Amino acid sequence: MQEQLRPLIAGNWKMNGTGAALEQLAHLKTLLEEAGEIASDVLICPPATLIHRAAQRAEGSPIRIGGQDCHAKVSGAHTGDVSATMLFDAGASHVILGHSERRADHGETSAMVSEKVQAALAAGLVPIVCVGETEAEREQGRANQVVAEQLAQSLPDDFGNTQIIVAYEPVWAIGTGRTPNIGDIAEMHAHMRALLVERFGAAGEAALLLYGGSVKPDNAGEILRTANVNGALVGGASLLANDFFSIIVVA
Protein backbone atom coordinates (compact mmCIF):
# COMPACT_ATOMS: atom_id res chain seq x y z
CA MET A 1 0.00 0.00 0.00
CA GLN A 2 1.47 3.30 -1.07
CA GLU A 3 1.91 5.82 1.73
CA GLN A 4 0.19 9.16 1.28
CA LEU A 5 2.63 11.41 -0.57
CA ARG A 6 2.46 15.16 -0.19
CA PRO A 7 1.44 16.46 -3.63
CA LEU A 8 3.44 18.98 -5.62
CA ILE A 9 1.66 21.58 -7.74
CA ALA A 10 4.23 23.04 -10.10
CA GLY A 11 3.69 25.95 -12.48
CA ASN A 12 5.64 26.15 -15.73
CA TRP A 13 5.53 29.70 -17.04
CA LYS A 14 7.47 28.69 -20.18
CA MET A 15 8.70 31.75 -22.16
CA ASN A 16 6.15 34.05 -20.59
CA GLY A 17 6.64 36.95 -18.26
CA THR A 18 8.76 40.00 -17.62
CA GLY A 19 9.12 41.79 -14.30
CA ALA A 20 5.44 42.73 -14.30
CA ALA A 21 4.49 39.04 -14.01
CA LEU A 22 5.95 39.00 -10.52
CA GLU A 23 2.74 40.71 -9.42
CA GLN A 24 1.02 37.37 -10.03
CA LEU A 25 3.57 35.73 -7.75
CA ALA A 26 2.93 38.35 -5.09
CA HIS A 27 -0.82 37.79 -5.46
CA LEU A 28 -0.38 34.02 -5.12
CA LYS A 29 1.66 34.60 -1.97
CA THR A 30 -1.19 36.65 -0.52
CA LEU A 31 -3.79 34.01 -1.45
CA LEU A 32 -1.68 31.31 0.20
CA GLU A 33 -1.19 33.42 3.32
CA GLU A 34 -4.94 33.97 3.59
CA ALA A 35 -5.59 30.25 3.07
CA GLY A 36 -3.27 29.27 5.95
CA GLU A 37 -2.32 25.59 5.99
CA ILE A 38 -2.23 23.99 2.53
CA ALA A 39 -1.93 20.29 1.74
CA SER A 40 0.55 20.48 -1.12
CA ASP A 41 3.95 21.89 -2.02
CA VAL A 42 3.92 24.78 -4.49
CA LEU A 43 6.52 25.54 -7.13
CA ILE A 44 6.71 28.21 -9.83
CA CYS A 45 9.18 27.84 -12.70
CA PRO A 46 9.47 31.26 -14.35
CA PRO A 47 11.81 32.14 -17.22
CA ALA A 48 15.48 32.15 -16.14
CA THR A 49 15.59 35.95 -16.19
CA LEU A 50 13.01 36.09 -13.38
CA ILE A 51 14.35 33.37 -11.09
CA HIS A 52 16.37 35.61 -8.82
CA ARG A 53 13.64 38.23 -8.44
CA ALA A 54 10.97 35.55 -8.06
CA ALA A 55 12.95 33.83 -5.32
CA GLN A 56 13.24 37.13 -3.47
CA ARG A 57 9.52 37.86 -3.83
CA ALA A 58 8.62 34.33 -2.68
CA GLU A 59 10.66 34.57 0.50
CA GLY A 60 8.67 33.91 3.64
CA SER A 61 6.03 31.95 1.67
CA PRO A 62 5.65 28.25 0.84
CA ILE A 63 6.31 29.01 -2.86
CA ARG A 64 9.51 27.46 -4.20
CA ILE A 65 11.13 28.62 -7.44
CA GLY A 66 12.49 26.40 -10.21
CA GLY A 67 14.20 26.56 -13.60
CA GLN A 68 12.83 25.15 -16.87
CA ASP A 69 16.07 23.63 -18.19
CA CYS A 70 19.79 23.58 -17.47
CA HIS A 71 22.99 22.72 -19.30
CA ALA A 72 24.72 19.43 -18.49
CA LYS A 73 28.02 21.20 -17.71
CA VAL A 74 28.78 23.41 -14.72
CA SER A 75 30.39 26.19 -16.78
CA GLY A 76 32.22 26.77 -20.04
CA ALA A 77 31.95 27.96 -23.63
CA HIS A 78 28.20 27.43 -24.12
CA THR A 79 26.81 30.77 -25.25
CA GLY A 80 23.28 31.40 -24.11
CA ASP A 81 23.05 28.40 -21.82
CA VAL A 82 22.45 28.36 -18.08
CA SER A 83 23.98 25.78 -15.74
CA ALA A 84 22.30 24.05 -12.81
CA THR A 85 24.76 25.72 -10.45
CA MET A 86 23.67 29.12 -11.78
CA LEU A 87 19.99 28.28 -11.25
CA PHE A 88 20.71 27.17 -7.69
CA ASP A 89 22.76 30.32 -7.07
CA ALA A 90 19.86 32.45 -8.36
CA GLY A 91 17.49 30.88 -5.83
CA ALA A 92 16.01 27.86 -7.60
CA SER A 93 15.31 24.64 -5.71
CA HIS A 94 14.00 22.56 -8.64
CA VAL A 95 14.47 22.31 -12.40
CA ILE A 96 12.19 20.92 -15.11
CA LEU A 97 14.17 18.69 -17.48
CA GLY A 98 13.26 16.97 -20.73
CA HIS A 99 10.05 18.92 -21.30
CA SER A 100 8.60 17.90 -24.68
CA GLU A 101 9.08 21.47 -25.95
CA ARG A 102 12.82 21.14 -25.20
CA ARG A 103 12.88 17.70 -26.80
CA ALA A 104 11.12 19.07 -29.93
CA ASP A 105 12.63 22.56 -30.22
CA HIS A 106 16.19 21.70 -29.21
CA GLY A 107 16.50 18.07 -30.23
CA GLU A 108 17.05 16.93 -26.65
CA THR A 109 17.37 13.19 -26.39
CA SER A 110 16.71 11.12 -23.29
CA ALA A 111 20.48 10.54 -22.98
CA MET A 112 21.01 14.31 -22.86
CA VAL A 113 18.23 14.64 -20.31
CA SER A 114 19.94 12.04 -18.12
CA GLU A 115 23.18 14.09 -18.16
CA LYS A 116 21.23 17.19 -17.21
CA VAL A 117 19.59 15.30 -14.34
CA GLN A 118 23.04 14.43 -13.00
CA ALA A 119 24.15 18.05 -13.31
CA ALA A 120 21.03 19.20 -11.46
CA LEU A 121 21.55 16.71 -8.64
CA ALA A 122 25.21 17.71 -8.32
CA ALA A 123 24.15 21.36 -8.02
CA GLY A 124 21.62 20.61 -5.27
CA LEU A 125 18.51 21.00 -7.43
CA VAL A 126 15.55 18.61 -7.49
CA PRO A 127 14.92 17.60 -11.12
CA ILE A 128 11.41 17.16 -12.50
CA VAL A 129 11.82 14.85 -15.48
CA CYS A 130 9.16 15.03 -18.18
CA VAL A 131 8.04 12.15 -20.37
CA GLY A 132 5.06 11.59 -22.64
CA GLU A 133 3.94 10.19 -25.95
CA THR A 134 2.81 12.02 -29.09
CA GLU A 135 -0.70 11.59 -30.41
CA ALA A 136 0.52 9.32 -33.21
CA GLU A 137 2.33 7.09 -30.71
CA ARG A 138 -0.83 6.77 -28.60
CA GLU A 139 -2.94 5.95 -31.67
CA GLN A 140 -0.44 3.25 -32.60
CA GLY A 141 -0.86 1.75 -29.12
CA ARG A 142 2.74 2.57 -28.25
CA ALA A 143 2.24 5.06 -25.39
CA ASN A 144 3.34 2.69 -22.61
CA GLN A 145 6.40 1.59 -24.55
CA VAL A 146 7.47 5.15 -25.41
CA VAL A 147 7.14 6.31 -21.82
CA ALA A 148 9.00 3.23 -20.55
CA GLU A 149 11.88 3.97 -22.92
CA GLN A 150 11.98 7.65 -22.00
CA LEU A 151 12.02 6.77 -18.30
CA ALA A 152 14.70 4.12 -18.73
CA GLN A 153 16.99 6.46 -20.66
CA SER A 154 16.27 9.85 -19.03
CA LEU A 155 16.83 8.76 -15.43
CA PRO A 156 20.39 8.05 -14.29
CA ASP A 157 20.98 5.09 -11.96
CA ASP A 158 21.77 7.30 -8.97
CA PHE A 159 18.34 8.92 -9.25
CA GLY A 160 17.21 6.43 -6.64
CA ASN A 161 19.26 8.24 -3.96
CA THR A 162 17.09 11.30 -4.20
CA GLN A 163 13.49 12.52 -4.32
CA ILE A 164 12.30 11.30 -7.71
CA ILE A 165 9.83 13.56 -9.49
CA VAL A 166 8.54 12.56 -12.91
CA ALA A 167 5.89 14.40 -14.91
CA TYR A 168 3.77 12.50 -17.39
CA GLU A 169 2.82 14.99 -20.08
CA PRO A 170 1.20 13.57 -23.21
CA VAL A 171 2.51 15.87 -25.95
CA TRP A 172 -0.94 16.15 -27.55
CA ALA A 173 -2.48 17.41 -24.28
CA ILE A 174 -0.04 20.28 -23.75
CA GLY A 175 -1.62 23.67 -24.41
CA THR A 176 -4.48 22.11 -26.37
CA GLY A 177 -7.28 22.00 -23.81
CA ARG A 178 -7.48 18.23 -24.38
CA THR A 179 -6.66 15.71 -21.67
CA PRO A 180 -6.56 11.91 -21.67
CA ASN A 181 -9.52 10.29 -20.00
CA ILE A 182 -9.05 9.50 -16.33
CA GLY A 183 -8.69 5.78 -17.02
CA ASP A 184 -5.77 6.43 -19.36
CA ILE A 185 -4.08 8.73 -16.83
CA ALA A 186 -4.54 6.08 -14.13
CA GLU A 187 -3.15 3.36 -16.37
CA MET A 188 -0.07 5.37 -17.37
CA HIS A 189 0.67 6.44 -13.81
CA ALA A 190 0.37 2.84 -12.56
CA HIS A 191 2.70 1.79 -15.38
CA MET A 192 5.26 4.44 -14.41
CA ARG A 193 5.00 3.53 -10.71
CA ALA A 194 5.67 -0.13 -11.49
CA LEU A 195 8.70 0.73 -13.64
CA LEU A 196 10.16 3.06 -11.01
CA VAL A 197 9.64 0.56 -8.18
CA GLU A 198 11.22 -2.18 -10.27
CA ARG A 199 14.30 -0.03 -10.91
CA PHE A 200 14.63 2.09 -7.75
CA GLY A 201 12.77 0.14 -5.04
CA ALA A 202 11.58 2.27 -2.12
CA ALA A 203 12.56 5.50 -3.93
CA GLY A 204 10.19 4.47 -6.71
CA GLU A 205 7.39 3.98 -4.16
CA ALA A 206 8.07 7.47 -2.83
CA ALA A 207 8.43 9.10 -6.27
CA LEU A 208 6.09 11.96 -7.05
CA LEU A 209 4.31 11.30 -10.34
CA LEU A 210 2.87 14.53 -11.69
CA TYR A 211 0.36 14.77 -14.49
CA GLY A 212 0.74 17.66 -16.95
CA GLY A 213 -1.16 18.80 -20.03
CA SER A 214 -4.14 21.18 -19.97
CA VAL A 215 -4.66 20.99 -16.20
CA LYS A 216 -7.22 23.69 -15.38
CA PRO A 217 -9.19 24.68 -12.27
CA ASP A 218 -12.22 22.70 -13.51
CA ASN A 219 -10.47 19.38 -14.23
CA ALA A 220 -7.73 19.46 -11.55
CA GLY A 221 -9.81 17.83 -8.81
CA GLU A 222 -10.64 14.72 -10.80
CA ILE A 223 -7.09 14.36 -12.14
CA LEU A 224 -5.46 14.87 -8.74
CA ARG A 225 -7.73 12.29 -7.09
CA THR A 226 -6.53 9.62 -9.54
CA ALA A 227 -4.40 6.82 -8.05
CA ASN A 228 -0.66 7.41 -8.44
CA VAL A 229 -1.14 11.04 -9.44
CA ASN A 230 0.85 12.98 -6.85
CA GLY A 231 0.55 16.45 -8.27
CA ALA A 232 0.42 18.46 -11.45
CA LEU A 233 2.69 20.35 -13.81
CA VAL A 234 0.62 23.30 -14.97
CA GLY A 235 1.44 25.55 -17.91
CA GLY A 236 -1.17 28.08 -19.07
CA ALA A 237 -3.24 27.96 -15.90
CA SER A 238 -0.21 28.82 -13.75
CA LEU A 239 0.19 32.28 -15.28
CA LEU A 240 -2.71 33.78 -13.36
CA ALA A 241 -2.50 33.49 -9.59
CA ASN A 242 -6.24 32.97 -9.13
CA ASP A 243 -6.35 30.00 -11.54
CA PHE A 244 -3.20 28.44 -10.11
CA PHE A 245 -4.46 28.90 -6.56
CA SER A 246 -7.74 27.12 -7.45
CA ILE A 247 -5.67 24.13 -8.58
CA ILE A 248 -3.49 24.20 -5.44
CA VAL A 249 -6.47 24.13 -3.09
CA VAL A 250 -8.13 21.12 -4.70
CA ALA A 251 -4.90 19.07 -4.38
Q: Which residues are catalytic?
A: 99, 169
| Three-class SS of 61-119 | CCEEEEECCCECCCCCCCCCCCEHHHHHHHCCCEEEECCHHHHHHCCCCHHHHHHHHHH
Q: How far is the CB of 175 from ligand PGA (least distance, A)?
A: 4
Strands (E), the chain: 8-12, 41-45, 63-67, 94-97, 126-131, 165-168, 208-212, 231-234
CB nearer ligand PGA, residue 87 or residue 247:
247
CB nearer ligand PGA, residue 85 or residue 179:
179
CB nearer ligand PGA, residue 48 or residue 85:
48
CB nearer ligand PGA, residue 98 or residue 213:
213
3-state secondary structure at position 162: coil
Q: How far is the CB of 232 from ligand PGA (least distance, A)?
A: 8
3-state secondary structure at position 229: coil
CA separation for the pair 235, 214 (Å, rounded): 7
Q: How far is the CB of 73 from ligand PGA (least distance, A)?
A: 25
Question: What are the contacts of 196-200 at 24+ separation with CB within 8 A?
Answer: 196/151, 196/164, 196/166, 199/152, 199/155, 199/160, 200/159, 200/160, 200/164
CA separation for the pair 165, 7 (Å, rounded): 11
CB nearer ligand PGA, residue 58 or residue 210:
210
CB nearer ligand PGA, residue 58 or residue 247:
247
CA separation for the pair 79, 153 (Å, rounded): 27
Residue nearest to ligand PGA (CB): 235
Q: How far is the CB of 99 from ligand PGA (least distance, A)?
A: 6
CA separation for the pair 225, 218 (Å, rounded): 13
Q: How far is the CB of 176 from ligand PGA (least distance, A)?
A: 7
CA separation for the pair 142, 29 (Å, rounded): 41
Residue numbers at the binding site for ligand PGA (CB under 6 A): 12, 169, 174-175, 212-215, 233-237
